[in-house]
Every structure is written in structure tokens, then in C-alpha cells.
Amino acid sequence: MSQITKITLDVKEVAQLIGVSPNSIYTMVAQKQIPHVRVRSRVLFHRDVIESWVRGEQQKA
């Protein structure tokens, strides 16, 4: 059976990935400093977009 790769990350996972607190991620979301999508009450991040953003390849949030 093939393994499904998760393409979205939640706030906690992004915080761990880039080395900041979840509260920092929420602040960045509120200030539109980090690319994200909202699905109902959840804030989600596309893994590839976040990895590009961290490398500086994507400037817009």
C-alpha cells in the first residue's frame, strides 16, 4: 500500500518547521506576513509554499 504524503501543515507544524512559537505564527497570519489559507476556523499552510517562502523564493503572504 502506498503512503499518502501530507501536503498541508497546521500552525503547530509550521512553528516547529521554522523554529518559532505557535503564537508567532498566529501573529504573522493576522498581519498577513506568511502565506496561509483558512478552512472554516482552521489556519492551514501548503507545505511547498511554506518551504519556498522560508527560502525567500516567495515574498507575498
> Which residues are 38's β-sheet partners?
43
The per-residue pLDDT for 5 is 81
**Residues facing residue 22 across a β-bridge:** none
Grid cell in block for residue 4: 499518502
Per-domain residue ranges of the chain: 8-54
pLDDT of residue 43: 97
pLDDT at 1 over 80: no
Span 3-61, pLDDT tens digits: 788 899 999 999 999 999 999 999 999 999 999 999 999 999 999 999 999 998 865 55
Beta strands in the chain (DSSP E): 8-9, 37-39, 42-46
**Residue-level pLDDT at 20:** 97
Alpha-carbon Rg for the chain in angstroms: 12
Which residues are CB-contacts of 17 (< 8 A; sequence separation ≥ 6)?
A: 9, 50, 54
In this prediction, residue 25 carries a pLDDT of 98
Model pLDDT, residue 61: 55
